[in-house]
Amino acid sequence: MKITQGKINELLTEPGCEHNHQKNGQKKNKYCTQVAQPGAAQGGCAFDGAMIALVPITDAAHLVHGPIACAGNSWGSRGSLSSGPMVYKMGFTTDLGENDVIFGGEKKLYKAILEVQQRYQPEAVFVYSTCVTALIGDDIDAVCQAAAKKTGTPVIPVNSPGFIGSKNLGNRVGGESLLEYVVGTQEPELTTPYDINLIGEYNIAGEMWGVTPLFEKLGIRVLAKITGDGKYNQIAYSHRAKLNVMICSKALINMARKMEERYGIPYIEESFYGVEDMNRCLRNIALKIGDADLQERVEKLIVEETAALDEALAPYRARLKGKRVVLYTGGVKSWSIISAAKDLGMEVVATSTKKSTEEDKARIKELLGKDGIMMEKGNAQELLRVIDKTKADMLIAGGRNQYTALKAKIPFLDINQERHHPYAGYVGMIEMARELDEALYSPVWEQVRKPAPWEQEVI
């Protein structure tokens, strides 16, 4: 798949994305066309985004065609876990040097693909272009085609040089590669009326494993996971599912929309965070599948799970009730985590709207109420100002913001992709409550807030 300006424009104006509704005039979202500047990552480049989307395919090898720093700066940055194959954890790169830039790196890439296939026997090899290899003109499509013919293993080119745009664009480029080279290339041994695909769930900290048992209890089969704990063969026959479920992400919305166009698979967007959202997710899946017996089973399961959850959360709710929280995260999590916090009796006094769609912002307003603060930008100075203004008890954000919380002398909980604790589903709510409680009531805060010895008056 060649990346042309036409293809980039198509992905940037994806009709399934809320950001692209009412694109004319002042309503046009500037982030859609924002191009990374030299020397500035701007939250991640297109290459980074493509790897984020595809590396969780666990039985495939992921080979970066470029200088070694490209692989070193992106590999292992997400906590996507696997229930089996571990080859995705291996960092492969062609490690281009100055001579390769001058004379071309295609032969080196071809040899690297053959070596990876021979030594590790992956189900497939994904090859990622980078800024350097795109600029020198290496034809990775032709090399991948030749290597696939030689080895008999699928070799998938991912034309995602960082300079073409943002991380979100890279996510979509990864999805386009799956649509063009993988989806529809195999057939499942059998299908059922209850087959679904999960799209945009990356199994961070094993979150998916807290939800898939619920589907199993209901008789719903997850045909393919795209891409957390994903398997290449499952994605190849994912076109036989009856429903696509987008989980907390617009990153691969192009996949969901185009699979509806090509294969007639409808899609819905749901969230696994919070009791209310989890209940709604199960009900909407059953409603979309259109099976009355399944809907009845869903209601019974919800009654059972929420009763057990209420009992488990009771001691935490008593300790967390009324605590004020500032939330700084992106996209759908900016409202879905509010729902989870409210389930625990906490009050979210401010949240970010970065990368949030208009639909997300509408939900945020509804959940926050008239006094809630919506932050478009959230640098450290702004976060400290909001924390002080709202008298917040805690900051929930990505790992890079933990030092801001330390400056404000308030507890911090990591909610982004680097975290090590799963917060999705009913069991995830218990884990989230435990982590919130431990952070809020840690004895270190009593010590931190005391005056330093040299600030105390000597009697």
Tens of pLDDT along 347-405? Answer: 999 988 766 666 667 777 777 777 788 887 778 899 999 999 999 999 999 888 889 99
Whether residue 223 contacts residue 198, with contact meaning beta carbons closer than 8 Å, is answered with no
> How far apart are the C-alpha atoms of 98 and 102, rounded to whole Å?
6
Instruction: At 451, give phi and psi (nearest 5°).
Output: -60, 145
Q: What is the pLDDT of residue 126?
A: 98
- Amino acid identity of residue 166, one-letter, is S
- Amino acid identity of residue 206, one-letter, is G
Q: What is the pLDDT of residue 432?
A: 93
Question: Residue 405: how many CB atoms within 10 A of its CB?
Answer: 23
Residue-averaged pLDDT of the chain: 88
- Amino acid identity of residue 106, one-letter, is E
Q: In which band, very low, low, confident or very high, does the pLDDT at 25 lie, cut at 50, 70 and 90?
A: very low
User: Of the segments 8-17, 76-85, 316-325, 411-420, which one has the largest average pLDDT value?
Assistant: 316-325
From the list 320, 200, 210, 186, the residue with the least C-alpha distance to 267 is 200
Beta pairing, strands 92-93 & 412-414: unpaired
Query: Which of the two residues, 110 and 72, has the higher pLDDT score?
Result: 110
Residues in the chain, how many?
Answer: 459
Question: Residue 376: how many CB atoms within 10 A of its CB?
Answer: 10
From the list 382, 381, 376, 383, the residue with the least C-alpha distance to 397 is 383
CA quadruple 311, 313, 315, 318: dihedral, nearest 10: -120
For 336-346, what is each residue's pLDDT tens digit? Answer: 788 888 889 99
Query: Which of the two residues, 19 and 107, has the higher pLDDT score?
Result: 107
> How far apart are the C-alpha atoms of 32 and 19, rounded to whole Å?
8
Mean pLDDT along residues 159-174? 91
Q: What is the separation of C-alpha 301 from the centre of its chain, rounded to a whole number of angstroms?
A: 27
With a cut of 70, say whether residue 38 has pLDDT above it: no
- Three-class SS of residue 361? helix
With a cut of 90, say whether residue 35 has pLDDT above it: no
- Amino acid identity of residue 359, one-letter, is E
Q: 12 is written with which tokens?
A: 């940037």
Q: What is the pLDDT of residue 74?
A: 63
Q: How far apart are the first and last CA of the chain?
A: 76
Q: 246 is written with which tokens?
A: 């987008």
260 exposure class (CB count in 10 Å sphere: 0-12, 13-18, 19+): middle
With a cut of 70, say whether residue 189 has pLDDT above it: yes
Q: Which helix (H) or strand (E) is 262 found in, with range?
A: helix 253-263
Helices (H), 24-120: 46-54, 68-74, 98-103, 106-120
**Percentage above 90 pLDDT, the chain:** 66
Question: Residue 170: how many CB atoms within 10 A of its CB?
Answer: 29
Query: Which of the two residues, 91 and 29, has the higher pLDDT score?
Result: 91
384 exposure class (CB count in 10 Å sphere: 0-12, 13-18, 19+): middle
Q: 25 is written with which tokens?
A: 């005039």
Q: 199 is written with which tokens?
A: 């799209």
**Percentage above 70 pLDDT, the chain:** 89
Whether residue 140 contacts residue 22, with contact meaning beta carbons closer than 8 Å, is answered with no
> How far apart are the C-alpha atoms of 292 and 192, rounded to whole Å?
16
Structural domains in the chain?
Answer: 5-181 (3.40.50.1980), 195-304 (3.40.50.12380), 321-419 (3.40.50.1980)
Residue with tokens 């063969």: 233
SS3 track for the chain: CCCCHHHHHHHHCCCCCHHHCCCCHHHCCHHHHCCCCCCCCCCCEHHHHHHHHHCCECCEEEEEECCHHHHHHHCCCCCECCCCCCHHHCCEECCCCHHHHHHCCHHHHHHHHHHHHHHHCCCEEEEEECHHHHHHCCCHHHHHHHHHHHHCCCEEEECCCHHHCEHHHHHHHHHHHHHHHCCCCCCCCCCCCCEEEEECCCCECCHHHHCHHHHHHHCCEEEEEECCCECHHHHHCHHHCCEEEEECCCCCHHHHHHHHHHHCCCEEEECCCCHHHHHHHHHHHHHHHCCHHHHHHHHHHHHHHHHHHHHHHHHHHHHHCCCEEEEECCCCHHHHHHHHHHHCCCEEEEEECCCCCHHHHHHHHHHHCCCCEEECCCCHHHHHHHHHHHCCCEEEECHHHHHHHHHHCCCEEECCCCCCCCCCHHHHHHHHHHHHHHHHCCCHHHHHCCCCHHHCCCC
Half-sphere exposure at residue 31, Cβ-oriented, CA atoms within 13 angstroms: 20
Q: What is the pLDDT of residue 24?
A: 46
